[in-house]
Every structure is written in structure tokens, then in C-alpha cells.
Amino acid sequence: MNNNKVIKHSKFLSLILRHKPETIGIDLDENGWIDIDLLIKKMNGNGRQLNREDLYFIVENNSKKRFAIDEVNNKIRANQGHSLDINLGFEPIQPPEILYHGTATRFVDSIMKTGLEKRDRHHVHLSADKSTAANVGQRHGKLIILEVRAMEMFEKGFQFFKSENGVWLTDKVPTLYLNKNKNND
């Protein structure tokens, strides 16, 4: 499978498994899972040629580890980032002292007024390291990395979760717990 095809299928899977399963006529269960054979059948019926081997390759080689396959290789789901009402079954855990959020400088004034908000997603996405935050943030324009005082939030009763692919999640980050990373290194 060539790289362009992998990227194209991965983006389409993100759309289907995170936002619009109805695009190909499927329904995700309450935890976001869909039967792999049904997914492949529906994708192929909608002009997206895919087989199990290709799907496994996409899941295994996705640099962001966006997808998970269940332990018996029957179902697939997106790890996080849903705009659908999905219960991913995450248990709250203690975060590290500091987490990071990469964004574009043009959003900073608004963020510093309202905090980080989940908007149409289930959670605010945070990174454990600056390089991951930078990779996410630079897609949106001139990069700035915000530091989130996660442990301080946790001690004040905010819940944190960690997805299967290492993304830290929380419902919101009030401005009180945000610092602009001055050097972005």
C-alpha cells in the first residue's frame, strides 16, 4: 500500500470513526467500536477499496496511533477525538506535573481569556512532551506551546484521562492553570 493511499484511508477512517459514521451507513456502538468486516464491506461499497491486511497496516503504522483494534481482532475504533457521543471507558488518573498544548499564536489571546475548551470534542487534548505538542500545534499556523499545570488542576479536583495512544485528556483548562512557554523549545 503506497503512502498516499495510507494517508487517504487514514483520514477517511478518522472521519468515519470519530465524526460521521453515517457517511458510509454504519453505527458505532456506545464505546465507539464497529465490526471490522462490516466496516470494510461498507467502505468498499462506498468506493473505498480496503481489506483487513490494509486496515491492520494503517492501524499499526499510523504515526499518531489514532485507532485501536480489540483484543480478538473483530472490532476497531478511534482512540479519541470524537465529536460523537461515545463512552471510551477511560478511568481518571493522576497526570504529570506539567502537560503541553500546541496551538497557533493567533488563538492565544482568546485562549488566555476563556482557557482551553473542548468545544465540539469530548475533551481537551494535551501532550506529555513539547515535541508532540509542537507537531500538533504547527498544523494550525505559527506555533506557540502552552504549559498546563496539570498536577495543580488535579489537586483542585479536575479529572485527567490518558488515551491508548498517550494523549492526555481533560474537560477544560481554565486560564489560571496556563502558562505561555516563552521559548517554545
Dump pLDDT digits (tens) for 126-141: 999 999 899 888 888 8
Same-domain status, 113 and 54? no
- Domain CATH for 162: 3.20.170.30
Q: Is residue 137 part of a domain?
A: yes
Residue 133 lies in a domain: yes
Does residue 90 lie within any of the structural domains? no
Longest dimension (CA), the chain: 50
The CATH number covering residue 25 comes to 1.10.10.970
The verdict on 27 and 56 lying in the same domain is yes
Please report whether residue 120 resides in a domain. yes
What's the average model confidence in pLDDT over 99-115?
A: 94
Same domain, 107 and 56: no
Structural domain boundaries enclosing 133: 99-180
Q: 22 vs 139, which has greater pLDDT?
A: 22
Instruction: Average the pLDDT over 48-54 and give the result.
Output: 93
Same domain, 133 and 163: yes
Q: Of 78, 111, 137, which marks where a domain is finished?
A: 78
Residue written as cell 485507532? Answer: 67
> Per residue in 62-98, pLDDT tens?
777 889 999 899 999 998 888 888 888 889 999 999 9
113 shares a domain with 171: yes
Long-range contacts of 83-89 (CB under 8 A, 24+ apart): 83/18, 83/19, 83/120, 83/121, 83/122, 84/18, 84/19, 84/21, 84/28, 84/32, 86/28, 86/30, 86/31, 86/32, 86/122, 87/30, 87/31, 87/32, 88/31, 88/32, 88/122, 88/163, 89/31
**Number of separate domains in the chain:** 2
Same-domain check for residues 115 and 61: no
- CA distances to 28, 36, 131, 141, 166 from 16, in Å: 9, 13, 28, 26, 21
- What per-residue confidence (pLDDT) applies to 179? 92
- Position 70 in a domain: yes
Which of the listed residues 43, 78, 113 is the one where a domain comes to its end? Answer: 78
* Predicted pLDDT at 33: 96
